[in-house]
Amino acid sequence: MKIFKLISLLSILFFVQSIFSQNTVTYTSLSNTIDINSGVEGTVDVVVKCFGNSSNPVFLNATQACGTSDGIVSQSYTNGSILTPGQSTIIRFKFKKTVSADTQVAYKFSTNGSCFQDESKMIKITVNYKKSTIPTPSSCNYPGALNLTITNVTTNSVNLKWDNVPGAPSYRIYYAKDGLSGSIPSVGSPCCSASIKSLEPNTTYNLFILVDCGNFTSNKITQKIKFTTLCNKQVSSIENFSVTPYSYGYKINFTPIPNFSNGYYILEWTDLVTNGGGMSNFSKAPEGSYPDFYYVQSGHSFKIRLTAYLDCVTAYSNWVTVNGLCPSAPTDLYVYSNASSGSFNWGALANSQNYQGEYLIYNLAGQQISGTFTSSTNNYSTAINTNGISGNKFIKFRIKSQCSNGTWSDYSDWSGTGVWNN
């Protein structure tokens, strides 16, 4: 008998402990009423909170519609449907229905997933759909929206703001790429902001907003705007770009961009002497015996950079300034002389601004006279007095050229020997 009483007492204690360890949820509130204009979406939020002292979660199942579902747009949880004590979530119900007369619809949603649940424990939402006041065509004489502002442009969406048109019942946003002609897509919106989605990346759109009177839309376009969605590609910058002299041109060096098989490079340069420039396709090939770049005239300084293109993305290297390669020393040297004067002559070099030479006059006895000269052309006339040297006299010279960047080439070889009679 005592054993039976002990077992009964333990059972009662376990039952009491189970009651106090259960978690419960509350709904605020179970009964709701809203008014919505015809064709306009409305929202009802029901807050769910969890109380208790058990670590076991509560699984919510409170979106089952019991009865009509006409006009229900969606039901969702803002913070998930599994709660533990201290947590809360919102059940968001959205409704939208087009009516020609004022219409009341009562919706019921089970909180345990069964439509056989006691109605006192269900969520009940009454929606009063209000008919639209549709004006006659002559009464929809509104100007278009003004002060349109574009914000938060992404690869596929854009946000809009505009000033309210006094008396306007609603608005319709028209947008299209490649101009505003033909069949133009549109979206309805209340005042005075909207978000347009499902746009194409890297695409320019034109847009305007008209007043929407229901069956009729105003035809006065007050303001048009244009915007371009962002590119949906990414390209890293061009790193370690350098230009070094090589043979008769230059070698281009840089770190190739990874994952760039569908892109291409363009080499761009500016001649700092002529201010001209150009661009050319550039494909980085293995090192070879030819320069990568040889478009700039010999002796001219220039700046150069590399541009990478991948669909709608562009990346640039830094600009590099390079002093032009100095032309080689002049060739084809010869001396012309007559009884009292003569001239030094040589082949002209493109892009050489000045020449500097030195000469040597001597006789067979070992006497000699030397000197220097400068010229801006490819010849130099002179009448060098050689009275200090007797007998037959001979002359030779050599020449070097000045580059456009101010540097000098090496001296040429000595010219052939000529007779000097002065």
Share of the chain above pLDDT 90, in %: 25
Q: Which domains does the chain have, with CATH numbers?
A: 24-130 (2.60.40.1510), 137-228 (2.60.40.10), 239-322 (2.60.40.10), 334-419 (2.60.40.10)
Across the range 102-127, mean pLDDT stands at 93
Across the range 78-82, mean pLDDT stands at 90
**Which of the given ranges, 1-10, 133-142, 233-242, 299-308, has the highest pLDDT on average?**
299-308
Distance spanning both ends of the chain, measured CA to CA: 155
pLDDT at residue 132 in the model? 60
pLDDT at residue 108 in the model? 94
pLDDT at residue 291 in the model? 63
Dist. CA 230–CA 153, nearest whole Å? 7
Residue 21 pLDDT > 60: no
Across the range 166-172, mean pLDDT stands at 86
Say if residue 170 is exposed, middle or buried (CB neighbours under 10 Å; 0-12, 13-18, 19+). middle
Residue 27 pLDDT > 70: yes
pLDDT at residue 422 in the model? 60
Summarize pLDDT for 31-66 with one digit per residue, the tens: 999 988 888 888 899 999 998 888 889 899 988 899
Residue 221 pLDDT > 50: yes
pLDDT at residue 70 in the model? 93
Residue 7 pLDDT > 60: no
pLDDT at residue 358 in the model? 95
Across the range 101-119, mean pLDDT stands at 92
**Which of the given ranges, 7-11, 213-217, 277-281, 346-350, has the highest pLDDT on average?**
277-281
Q: Mean pLDDT for the chain? A: 81
Across the range 189-204, mean pLDDT stands at 86
pTM of the predicted model over 0.75: no
Residue 332 pLDDT > 60: yes
Summarize pLDDT for 356-404 with one digit per residue, the tens: 999 999 988 889 989 999 999 899 998 887 877 888 888 999 999 887 6
Across the range 174-184, mean pLDDT stands at 66
Contact 231, 201 (CB under 8 A): yes
